[in-house]
Amino acid sequence: MMLKYSRAATNLRELEELGCTIMHGVDAHTMIKHPLLNQKLFDRIVYNSPATALKRRESNTRQIEKHQRLVEGFLESAYDILEVIGEIHVTHKTTEPYRKWDIERLAEDAGCAWLRKLRSRKLTIQE
Ligand SMILES: C[S@@+](CC[C@H](N)C(=O)[O-])C[C@H]1O[C@@H](n2cnc3c(N)ncnc32)[C@H](O)[C@@H]1O
């Protein structure tokens, strides 16, 4: 992360100063097994742009299925550590081929009640 994003260290420091706990290497599939995450329930759990390593083109069916398994695993795992009235937020592109991930169906299959879809402004990733 430090190598990829030049502002990473500054941003992490700022978050810590604001009282955030920063953890690295958390597997989105098994959050309930993490010693710091299984102590409490969360009212919001956010995963911005979930994605697995790209082995094929984004439009390849097997690549899409791999991404979907990540999102499914994350949603099921997040559900286990979520408050009863809690929210799971996922940001995701809605253009092709990303819409084929069918995130709404994955959320329903994971037992989530679909709350709403918000349109975000174009995201700029700061390098
Ligand atoms: C497209 S990047 C988005 C990164 C970051 N959330 C952001 O918005 O800049 C997708 C991230 O998901 C991570 N990832 C893939 N599989 C994961 C898993 N099982 N558990 C946790 N993170 C995973 C990848 O390492 C990568 O950092």
Determine whether the shortest distance from the Cβ of 52 to ligand 1 is under 6 A. Answer: yes
122 falls within a domain: no
18 falls within a domain: no
1 falls within a domain: no
Measured in Å, residue 26 CA sits from the centre of ligand 1 at 10
pLDDT, mean over the chain: 91
Interval 18-66: pLDDT, tens: 999 999 999 999 999 999 998 999 999 999 999 999 999 999 999 999 9
User: CB–CB of 107/88 below 8 Å?
Assistant: yes
* Domain count along the chain: 1
Measured in Å, residue 47 CA sits from the centre of ligand 1 at 8
Dihedral sign, CA of 5, 9, 15, 16? positive
User: CB–CB of 50/71 below 8 Å?
Assistant: yes
Interval 56-73: pLDDT, tens: 999 999 999 999 999 999
Measured in Å, residue 84 CA sits from the centre of ligand 1 at 26
CA of 29, closest atom in ligand 1: 19
pLDDT at 87 over 60: yes
Output the CA–CA distances (angstroms, integers) from residue 32 to 104, 124, 127, in the order listed.
23, 31, 31
Dihedral sign, CA of 92, 121, 7, 9? negative
Measured in Å, residue 98 CA sits from the centre of ligand 1 at 16
Q: Minimal CA–CA distance to 71: which of 95, 54, 88?
A: 88
127 falls within a domain: no
Burial class (CB in 10 A: 0-12, 13-18, 19+), 114: exposed
80 falls within a domain: yes
116 falls within a domain: no
60 falls within a domain: yes
pLDDT of residue 90: 95
Q: What CA dihedral angle connects 63, 26, 116 and 94, to 10 degrees?
A: -30
Q: Which domain holds residue 93?
A: 24-109
Instruction: Give the residue-averaged pLDDT of 99-118.
Output: 90
Q: How confident is the model at residue 115 (pLDDT cuts 50, 70, 90)?
A: confident
16 falls within a domain: no
Among 52, 92, 126, residue to substitute to test ligand 1 (most atoms within 8 Å of Cβ)? 52
